[in-house]
Amino acid sequence: MAGLIPQWFIDDLLNRADVVDIIDSRIELKKAGHEFKACCPFHNEKTPSFTVSPTKQFYHCFGCGAHGTALSFLMEYDHMDFVEAVETLAAQQGMEVPHEQGVQPEKLRADDNLFDILQQAGDYYRNQLKQNQAAINYLKDRGLSGEIAAEYGMGYAPSGWDNLTKLFGESKLNQLKESGMLTENESGKVYDRFRDRIMFPIRDRRGRTIGFGGRIMGSDSGAKYLNSPETPVFHKGKELYGLYEARQAVRKLESFYVVEGYMDVIALAQHGVRNVVATLGTATTSDHLKQLFRIVPEIVFCFDGDRAGRDAAWRALENALPIMRDGYIIRFLFLPDGEDPDSMIREHGKIEFDRLASKAQTLSAFFFDRLSQDIDMDSADGRSRLAQLAQPYLQKLPGGVFHEIMLDQLAELTGLSADRLSKVTQLNQEPAIRKPDKPAQRQKNPHIRHLITLLLQRPDLAQLVESTDEVADLDLPGSDLLKDLLAFLHDRPDAHTGAILEHWRDNEYGKHLAKLALTEIELDAHRLEAEFKDTLSKLEHFRRNSRKQILAKIARGELPTAEEKAVLQQTANPADNNENL
């Protein structure tokens, strides 16, 4: 639903929320003059360089450069996406998030009903687990404690065909089917999807139950694992088991292990490896990877060392190549034959697991090992074959340092220079595009930058400009931003600096505004107003003087350029007819 929350609501939300309260509830802030300080939560430091401004309603770290608003902090510190941050902040303020046209209210209510159904089903399964000694003994035999089972919300689906229908009643039959909890056979009979299985609730990033995985307890016939089907609230290619629990357990995550099974996740968590998630019966998708890379810079795939495990690793690598930005790290941990993460950690413990993890292969090492495994690298033909095989994969990599490093490694393996290899394998296939001639830059004006800076210090200064018409005819670098900023502050006279920055978050001007907001101007309120008025006067003088220069040029018999004609047309007014040249 990203992008469907109205901007006016986000602006209003930030005006009501207090960034100091939001941050202070997570890290300890100390008063320092008019601001608050702390050691930065986003990098290691001993001397506090993280400041929070209650008047500007934004934070900034002078050490690492992290900065933003209450929403930015929730996104970075609590690893939320934008919509999650808005919804969390709105809930704290007692506000209901509205949605623009695009998602119908009926659809939102239907989804809420499915979440309720799934939550109640999860509660039922947890209660059933407490009453079933065979299921309890099974989990104990697998080495799981009651605490870890409770943390992950594990339960038990009893035998029987209509337990959920009895629990919810016939009126909920359609919702139970839509949520995936009931299934229907060819003859039209409806029955419980999960029966006599250990149940693993799958939670989204907000902790809502969106589906289930069920595991048989013995060696009976039938699938070992059974997962919820695709539903309006559950999409296997986008969700990861254990992500919510990992984020709750570890405040500052540095990496994630990606494994294949529910029990792998829980067994590793039982032994202190909390940064672990699992895919849901599917290969790792680019959506999975993007989601994890928004939280951590490093992902370690942990697979069985057999053929199936290595094939799964290769599929993950293929999906990772198009999103491998500089700074991302992917490694591959292959366990000894016959071992999976569950058995490995239970039999050998965390120390041995950590030792193996420290030797995990880098993406580049696994990539070239895999491609060259059946190639005679001592022959010219073999090295040529490697270059040919690598070509389509390396073309998927985004440009940047990592792409260059991969190209250098291929050059080293084949004995060709990187430049020669690039030509031979045609790795850089994009046709050269002739850049259009740059238009002449408009004359820069320091007054516009200063006015914007002053408005960021004191947004209420915008009220000194009676109408945006006073700057409407400016045609200078930054003038469009100044006009938009004044219009924004006229519409929202209570907006603070943080609200301004959030409004322009994804705009081309966003970064520039964030930098200007850090400028400290040591003037009292009266002198700041005088400074603002004086700068406005200087800008007006500059505008009129520019018109005079064009008119003088015409008086000398020189033809004006198209841009100069536009300036004359934009700045024309009756009073200008009597200008004294």
**How confident is the model over 136-173, as pLDDT tens digits?**
999 999 999 999 999 999 999 999 999 999 999 988 99
- Nearest Cα to Cα of residue 201 among 277, 125, 100, 271: 125
CATH architecture for residues 374-424: Up-down Bundle (1.20)
Measured over the CA atoms of residue 281, residue 287, residue 291 and residue 293, the dihedral's sign is positive
User: Could you tell me which CATH number the domain at 105-227 has?
Assistant: 3.90.980.10
CA distance 129 to 125: 6
Measured over the CA atoms of residue 81, residue 278, residue 137 and residue 336, the dihedral's sign is negative
pLDDT at 476 over 90: no
Quote the pLDDT of residue 98.
Answer: 82
**How confident is the model over 4-26, as pLDDT tens digits?**
788 888 888 888 888 998 999 88
Please, what is the Cα angle at 412 between 400 and 419, to 5 degrees?
55
C-alpha to C-alpha distances, 541 to 286, 341, 537, nearest whole angstrom: 55, 73, 6
- pLDDT band for 219, please (50, 70, 90 cuts): low
pLDDT at 223 over 80: no
Across residues 550-569, what is the average pLDDT? 69
**How confident is the model over 505-528, as pLDDT tens digits?**
777 778 788 888 877 776 777 788
**How confident is the model over 107-130, as pLDDT tens digits?**
555 667 899 999 999 999 999 999
**How confident is the model over 57-96, as pLDDT tens digits?**
989 998 888 888 999 898 888 777 788 888 888 888 888 8
Cross-sheet strand order for the sheet of 58-61: 30-32, 35-38, 50-53, 58-61, 67-68
Checking DSSP bridges between strand 276-278 and strand 225-227, what pairing results, if any?
A: unpaired
Please, what is the Cα angle at 234 between 232 and 238, to 5 degrees?
120
Sketch the domain layout of the chain as residue ranges.
7-92, 105-227, 252-353, 374-424, 446-578
Which residue did the predictor score with more confidence, 299 or 457?
299
Across residues 358-374, what is the average pLDDT? 93
Please, what is the Cα angle at 230 between 229 and 232, to 5 degrees?
130
Quote the pLDDT of residue 17.
Answer: 87
CATH number for 252-353: choose from 2.60.40.10, 3.40.30.10, 3.30.920.30, 3.40.1360.10: 3.40.1360.10
Question: Does domain 7-92 sit in CATH 3.90.580.10?
Answer: yes
- Nearest Cα to Cα of residue 211 among 117, 274, 87, 79: 117
Neighbour tally for 115: CB within 10 Å: 16
Across residues 490-495, what is the average pLDDT? 82
**How confident is the model over 246-303, as pLDDT tens digits?**
988 887 889 999 999 899 999 999 999 999 999 988 889 988 998 898 888 999 999 8
- Count Cβ atoms within 10 A of the Cβ of residue 81 and give its class: 0-12 exposed, 13-18 middle, 19 or more buried: middle
Question: Does domain 446-578 sit in CATH 1.10.860.10?
Answer: yes
CA distance 400 to 195: 51
Quote the pLDDT of residue 2.
Answer: 41
Measured over the CA atoms of residue 234, residue 235, residue 238 and residue 239, the dihedral's sign is positive
